[in-house]
Amino acid sequence: AQSVTQLDSHVSVSEGTPVLLRCNYSSSYSPSLFWYVQHPNKGLQLLLKYTSAATLVKGINGFEAEFKKSETSFHLTKPSAHMSDAAEYFCVVSERAGGTSYGKLTFGQGTILTVHP
Q: Please give the residue ranges that form the binding site for another protein (CB under 8 A).
A: 4, 31-32, 34, 36, 41-46, 49, 51, 90, 92, 94-96, 101-105, 107-110
**CB closer to another protein, 64 vs 112:** 112
Q: How far is the CB of 64 from another protein (least distance, A)?
A: 17
How far apart CA 61 and CA 58 sit, in angstroms, is 9
**CB closer to another protein, 100 vs 117:** 100
Phi and psi at residue 84, to the nearest 5°: -70, -10
Interior angle at CA 80, CA 70 and CA 84, nearest 5: 110
Residue 99 near residue 33, CB atoms below 8 Å: no
Q: How far is the CB of 117 from another protein (least distance, A)?
A: 26
Q: How far is the CB of 103 from another protein (least distance, A)?
A: 2
Closest by alpha carbon to 91, among 3, 27, 1? Answer: 3
